Amino acid sequence: MPLTSSRIGVLMGGRSAEREISLKTGRAVHGALLRRGHDVVVIDVDADVGARLRAEKVDLAFIALHGPGGEDGTIQGLLEVMGIPYTGSGVLASALAMHKEITKSLLAHHGIPVPRGMVVRAAIAGARTIRKLPAGLRWPVVVKPATQGSTIGVTIVRRASEWTEALARAHEHDPEAVVEAYVPGHEVTVGVLSGMALPAVEIVAPGGFYDFAAKYEKGRTQYLCPAPVSREVARRVRDLALQAYAALGCEGAARVDFRVTPRGRPYVLEVNTVPGMTETSLLPMAAAKAGIDYDTLAERILESALQRAERMGKKT
């Protein structure tokens, strides 16, 4: 079935801590696809999402969900079972990318630089107070939930007195906390659209920490696109973004986040398989610099779902 005659369901909301951001993404995508003349319905995802998809006769799903349940292969698996093509990465790539430490282990196996780190499980932390850093790490470190986005539950720990509280904060959101070496430098992110690296964006956050407030409170953070880095660093982060995308088996749109040291060495922090798509999000910003406006970007992401379905031999 061609895109023009498909009934498109924009899946948004869900139950994760990133629900409100997902709703913003979903509404923006819905508006873009309507402007393009598509038949679009929005679906706020809950336990009855399968029934809603059938009732609405959805032919093609645009996933605008963030966090567990939406980025981790869960909704992707349901859509696979229902035979509904969907945007973004498949079940396995989504599940791998959702867990930050598993992502880093896989990328390191492929020779992609990542910060040294490990997982601390809540059961272990609760059984005995962990007062010392794991072997091979030194202050400062970053402590974060293994499977959350939007910098939820993330702490930069600079001294031993902050350590236990940081672990507890991360464990409020996930039974596994990732503890990794803090990489000094600046934040850079690279969007990837169906195997094409977009211009890099540098993120200049207040106090140097790109936390939830810095991401979503208007005017708190400065975004520089293209990133004011050397030509060599710009080439390197784009190459690494494509390598990370391929190593995880990503498809459609994704975003790869980096820390770049003062000497220009980039480290991959994580890979987002459902990057934010509000009209001020990083992926649309980079796409605009590449000459792709928001509505065109949304439609290209949608087209990638049909292309993947065709490759897999599905009929829509």
Q: In CATH, what number is assigned to the domain containing residue 52?
A: 3.40.50.20
Q: Which carries the bigger pLDDT value, residue 211 or residue 281? A: 281
Average model confidence (pLDDT) for the chain? 90
Residue 107 and residue 233 share a domain:
yes
Known active-site residue 211: no
Judge whether 280 lies within some domain: no
Choosing from 18, 180, 187, 299, which is the catalytic residue? 18
Choosing from 90, 117, 191, 276, which is the catalytic residue? 276
Residue 239 and residue 197 share a domain:
yes
Q: Are 201 and 224 in contact (CB under 8 A)?
A: yes
Choosing from 71, 101, 174, 270, which is the catalytic residue? 270
Residue 265 and residue 192 share a domain:
yes
Residue 220 and residue 128 share a domain:
no
Sign of CA dihedral 295, 296, 298, 299: positive
Known active-site residue 169: no
Q: Are 273 and 177 in contact (CB under 8 A)?
A: no
Choosing from 94, 150, 281, 304, which is the catalytic residue? 150
pLDDT at 215: 54
Show the domain range for 156.
117-181
Question: For residue range 17-34, what is the model confidence (pLDDT) as tens digits?
Answer: 889 999 999 999 999 999
Average pLDDT over residues 157-178: 89
Known active-site residue 6: no
Check whether 218 has a pLDDT greater than 80. Answer: no
Q: Which of 53-67, 218-232, 271-285, 292-306 has the lowest mean pLDDT?
A: 218-232
Q: Which carries the bigger pLDDT value, residue 210 or residue 61? A: 61
pLDDT at 62: 98
Residue linked to tokens 């060495």: 265
Check whether 82 has a pLDDT greater than 90. Answer: yes
Choosing from 272, 281, 299, 304, which is the catalytic residue? 272
Q: Which carries the bigger pLDDT value, residue 102 or residue 124? A: 102
Quickly count: other Cβ atoms within 10 Å of residue 244's Cβ. Answer: 26
Check whether 149 has a pLDDT greater than 90. Answer: no
CATH number of the domain where residue 251 is located: 3.30.470.20
Q: What is the pTM of this model?
A: 0.91
Residue 243 and residue 100 share a domain:
yes
Q: Which carries the bigger pLDDT value, residue 250 or residue 167? A: 250
Check whether 36 has a pLDDT greater than 50. Answer: yes
Judge whether 286 lies within some domain: no
Average pLDDT over residues 98-116: 96
Known active-site residue 7: no
Known active-site residue 18: yes
Give residue 16's pLDDT band: very low, low, confident or very high (50, 70, 90): confident
Distances (CA, A) of 100 to 31, 191, 222, 283: 32, 18, 25, 20
Choosing from 101, 176, 202, 257, which is the catalytic residue? 257
Residue 141 and residue 81 share a domain:
no
Known active-site residue 210: no
Check whether 3 has a pLDDT greater than 90. Answer: no
Known active-site residue 276: yes
Q: Which carries the bigger pLDDT value, residue 280 or residue 56? A: 56
Choosing from 236, 255, 259, 308, which is the catalytic residue? 255
pLDDT at 7: 96
Known active-site residue 46: no
Check whether 166 has a pLDDT greater than 50. Answer: yes
CB neighbours of 145 closer than 8 A, spacing ≥ 6? 152, 153, 154, 170, 171, 173, 174, 176, 177, 178
Check whether 132 has a pLDDT greater than 90. Answer: no
